[in-house]
Structure 1
Amino acid sequence: MDREIISTENAPNSPLYSQGVRAGSVIYVSGMVGIDVATGQPAGSSIQDQTQQALRNCEAVLHAGGSTLADVTLVTVLLAQPADFVGMNEAYADFFDSAPPARAVARLGPVLENILVSIMMTAHTQN
């Protein structure tokens, strides 16, 4: 199966991974952290700020691949601090308030300075 690399300047990037990959009608979005690409810094010090930014970063990759949050079927959230679960849910609900996708939440493995959350997604599109 052919695969297409998805990239955008509107989300954090690295030479070590693709921001997103399309394989057929499926888009896989790599783990996006709450970094504001305009500043290169975390979007804030709260889990809510960083969750919102991580979701906006995921959304930017989806848009670059011709998709939207409405196409998302699975979200995986990795938290640096499990105690941030409630705060993450508060911010998450603003993006997926009705008919949310399937979701898993686990602990973020590596310690990344000032990073509280990483979010990855899978979307199924009509394309």
Structure 2
Amino acid sequence: MELKELVSMEASPALGPYCHGRKYGNMIITSGQIPLTKDGEYVYEIKAATTLVLNNLLSIVEAGGGCRESVARVDVYINSLDDFAAINEAYAEFFGSHRPTRVCVQVEALPENVPLEASMIAFAEE
């Protein structure tokens, strides 16, 4: 099997020496995404930021042949646990009845003082 690089034209550009994601077989692993639009604008309002990050991640998963329902795990890093309820609300709206596994931890700092960063593990539909 070949390790393939994934690129999404909908997600924000990588800010460092990494790619949007990788696909090996039917497994898709994304890099972390912060709430940055593809046009380079940061989003700080927590619900809008969460939705943007999840949409950016989903676009990478889709570039690898996956879909929302194929997302198995989401790792979320947040600046403040005070935002936990709002993140959960946006997360539930985004996924609906699909409930991927999740890790959510508070971290000391994120780039540009954004409120969260997240990544996904998903599977391509074959």
Same fold (TM over 0.5): yes
Following the alignment from structure 2 to structure 1, what is the Cα–Cα distance between the partners of residues 87 and 75?
12
C-alpha displacement at 1:89, in angstroms? 0.7
User: Residue in 2 aligned with 1:9?
Assistant: 9
1:20 aligns with 2:15: no
1:62-103 CA-to-partner distances (Å, cap 9, x unmatched) read 111121111001111110112110111111111112131111
Following the alignment from structure 1 to structure 2, what is the Cα–Cα distance between the partners of residues 104 and 9?
27
More strand by share: 1
Structure 1 runs of 4+ with >4 Å offset = none
2:77 corresponds to which letter in structure 1? L
Following the alignment from structure 2 to structure 1, what is the Cα–Cα distance between the partners of residues 8 and 123?
19
Following the alignment from structure 2 to structure 1, what is the Cα–Cα distance between the partners of residues 113 and 41?
9
Following the alignment from structure 2 to structure 1, what is the Cα–Cα distance between the partners of residues 11 and 26?
21
User: Residue in 2 aligned with 1:79?
Assistant: 78
Following the alignment from structure 1 to structure 2, what is the Cα–Cα distance between the partners of residues 12 and 99?
25
C-alpha displacement at 1:60, in angstroms? 1.0
TM-score, normalised relative to structure 2: 0.90
Identity of aligned pairs, percent? 28
Q: How many residues align?
A: 125
**Are the counterparts in 1 of residues 65 and 125 from structure 2 also a CA contact under 8 Å?**
no
1:27 corresponds to which letter in structure 2? I
**Are the counterparts in 1 of residues 110 and 117 from structure 2 also a CA contact under 8 Å?**
no
* Cα RMSD after superposing both structures: 1.5
Following the alignment from structure 1 to structure 2, what is the Cα–Cα distance between the partners of residues 69 and 16?
27
C-alpha displacement at 1:9, in angstroms? 2.1
More helix by share: 2
**Are the counterparts in 1 of residues 69 and 98 from structure 2 also a CA contact under 8 Å?**
no
Structure 2 residue runs without a partner (length 5+): none
Structure 1 residue runs without a partner (length 5+): none
C-alpha displacement at 1:8, in angstroms? 1.8
